Amino acid sequence: MLVRNAKLRNHEGLWQILAEDGLIKKIEPIKETESAYSGEVIDAAGGLVVPPFVEPHVHLDTVLTAGEPKWNISGTLFEGIETWALRKKVLSHEDVLTRAKTALTWQAAQGIQFVRTHVDVDDPELTALKALLELKEAVSDWMDIQIVAFPQESILGYPKGKELIEEAMKLGADAVGGIPHYELTREDGVDSMKIVFDLAEKYDRLIDVHCDEIDDEQSRFVEVIAAEAYKRGIGERVTASHTTAMHSYNGAYAAKLFRVLKMSGINFVSNPLVNTHLQGRFDTYPKRRGVTRVKELLQAGINVCFGHDDIFDPWYPLGTGNMLQVLFMGLHVCQLMGYKEITEALDLITVNSAKALHVSEQYGIEEGKPANFLIMSEPDSYNVIRKLAPVCYSVHKGKVMAETKPAETKIMLNGEKVPVDFN
């Protein structure tokens, strides 16, 4: 495959990308005289080529269940958990497979090629985990999936919770999850994190914890995670998801905390769509935004990325799997609206996410790396975000896996159809 007339981030002019045997063989400035090439040629038409979008945090076992068996009326995290506990009673292998695969096709159609999914393992049968392990293998030709064993109803507060999460490791989950703020006591929360880290080291797995997903300024488990990661020297393999309580920390404590976070080298995932929806529910006015300190974390040189969290389920009643919608919301709510912040923002759903997933070695627009990339309809990252541009082509292992034709808009002026391109 040869991609011609492509734009690249932080590079001037037009470029061409040659892919062979599933790898990027050559990247070079476009030549005025086209050389003969017998393979597939794609004209990027001046569109920006970027690495694939990465979904660093989603729950594929719960997708497409909104309203089943009831709607989350309060809009709180806790009613979502209660509602899912009811839905879980009728969970089946085929049910999870069908819904999750549908969601994956939505994601693939919009440029996502890497997905980290959390799966509820507080189930004696581990129904959802077994289904997603099967699905991971079935879709491996077109989607790279990581599975996090997530103890939705806690490790120590759920019967045999510790045994179930270890069984998930034995079955092949890629990462150990946790939910310390949902344990019965703070002490249990701390103890649960030691269990998570011990399991990760025992089975050589990554760590991704639902951490401090609450408005309570006293919920401070992120310091426990950071300290544990620092002491064990595995920070780059550890991710703290949500950390919404950080939004409410006082300045003095936050300053102390950031020192530990930088020392640890851990990653962060913020989920701006769902966090703004679920948090602040116990406030009158003013209502907190309920999103972690993304701007300050980035300024401190700490790796942060954005995820969906939920797609049309008990915690979030909307969504189609479009990462640009996630990014668009995140830029607003985190006040990342300076020109430079916008032009660099694609990192929050691409390279930063790949780093959190620990897949950077096989990711990026570089010669010798897998030929995985997107061809966008706009020439630069600023307009990709401003116009929520569609992914014209999603190329995976050197082959087109998804294609979208940009919409054509016309208005009637003086009896004539006049095109509108929003430029």
Q: Could you give the CA distance from residue 403 to residue 3 in angstroms, rounded to a whole number?
A: 14
Strand 48-50 relative to strand 238-242: parallel, antiparallel, unpaired? unpaired
- Could you say which of 79, 153, 183, 213 is catalytic? 213
Three-state secondary-structure class, residue 275: helix
**Tokens encoding 118:** 């959390």
Three-state secondary-structure class, residue 339: helix
Catalytic, 341? Answer no
Q: What are the backbone angles phi and psi of residue 396, rounded to the nearest 5°? A: -125, 120
Within 13 Å and on the Cβ side, how many CA atoms surround 319?
31
Query: CB-based contacts of 139: which residues, under 8 Å, 6+ apart?
Result: 101, 104, 145
What is the total residue count of the chain?
423
Q: Could you give the CA distance from residue 262 to residue 257 in angstroms, rounded to a whole number?
A: 9
Name the helix (H) or strand (E) containing 296: helix 294-299
Q: Could you give the CA distance from residue 202 to residue 394 in angstroms, rounded to a whole number?
A: 37
Whole-angstrom CA distances from 235 to 165, 260, 411 are 21, 11, 54
Q: Are 289 and 279 in contact (CB under 8 A)?
A: yes
- Listed residue (227, 235, 164, 166) closest to 202, CA to CA: 166
Q: Could you give the CA distance from residue 402 to residue 247 in angstroms, rounded to a whole number?
A: 38
Three-state secondary-structure class, residue 87: helix
Helices 127-138 & 161-171, crossing angle to 10 degrees? 20
Three-state secondary-structure class, residue 392: strand
Q: Are 279 and 290 in contact (CB under 8 A)?
A: yes
CA-atom Rg of the chain in angstroms: 22
Name the helix (H) or strand (E) containing 418: strand 416-420
Supply the residues annotated as catalytic: 213
